[in-house]
Amino acid sequence: MTAGVIGQPIAHSLSPLMMSRWIDAAGLDAIYTPYVATPHMFAPVVMALYRAGLKGLNVTLPHKTEALTLANRISDAADKIGAANLLTFVDGEIHADNTDAVGFISSLRIAGVDPKGKSVLVLGAGGASRAVTYGLKDAGARELAIANRSLGKAREIAREIAPDTEVVGWDNRNGLLDQVDIVVNATSLGLKGQIPLEMEWGQARDSLVAIDTVYTPLETQFLADARNRDLTGIDGLGMLIEQGKPSFEAFFGVAAPQGADIRSLLETKLGEAK
């Protein structure tokens, strides 16, 4: 059995390491391979791998939107989010799904936070925000607000994914901190090489949970500042691991094995890459 991940660049992807560890732990005769493709070559490469008998592909930047155009069937999550990170090749068809949303919600729950009934502020309105917002709405979050630099993109998410969402200007993002239970960084701020995301955590409720989608570095300034204010901080590595589990099961027909110690494997890899 063969599956893989396709993107450009792809060398930095942690998916091959993670999937290979699960393959070994499950005792499967399978391989999971990275494939690089320019936007121009994405469709031909996917179709060639489909014809070669792969079980499917994870899809990463910059192809997540284009992936939808190749599918015969699109899940509700991928349709609403407008992007697929999973293509499975099933009975002569290509199925598109998005597991980022469910991965994000699982990572919250594993950290002991149930979003049901909670009031959540999402920062950012790109692809990650669309998945996070879809997941939060699906998981029963009570109130949602999105703060983004470009207001139009936040309004689009409110219109297409979560109609009652409040849209807030970027410079007013701290104004809701005394009202919300959870704040999600779904911007690319804080990512290695980018400027950090600064928040005025002094205004936050003591019970506030801050969760980052960024995992390089594992402790962003967003999280470090929240933890210094004694708030709960959750890093983005959990989301990465949890979005991989449904993909593994879709490719290989068995659940990703428990206890494969994926987190410490990935933490070591991220540590080496510093």
Annotated catalytic sites, by residue? 64
The closest residue (CB) to ligand NDP is: 126
Whichever of 149 and 229 has its CB closer to ligand NDP, that residue is: 149
Using rule CB under 6 A, residue 62 touches ligand NDP: no
Using rule CB under 6 A, residue 37 touches ligand NDP: no
Using rule CB under 6 A, residue 15 touches ligand NDP: no
Using rule CB under 6 A, residue 268 touches ligand NDP: no
Residue pair 140/116 in contact by the 8 Å Cβ criterion: yes
Q: Which residues, numbered 180-239, are part of the site for ligand NDP (CB under 6 A)?
A: 186-189, 191, 195, 213-215, 236, 239
Whichever of 1 and 101 has its CB closer to ligand NDP, that residue is: 101
Whichever of 63 and 118 has its CB closer to ligand NDP, that residue is: 63
Whichever of 81 and 141 has its CB closer to ligand NDP, that residue is: 81
Minimum Å gap between C-beta 266 and ligand NDP is: 11
Using rule CB under 6 A, residue 133 touches ligand NDP: no
Which tokens is 170 given? 């970027």
Binding site for ligand NDP (CB under 6 A): 100, 124-129, 148-150, 153, 170, 186-189, 191, 195, 213-215, 236, 239-240, 243
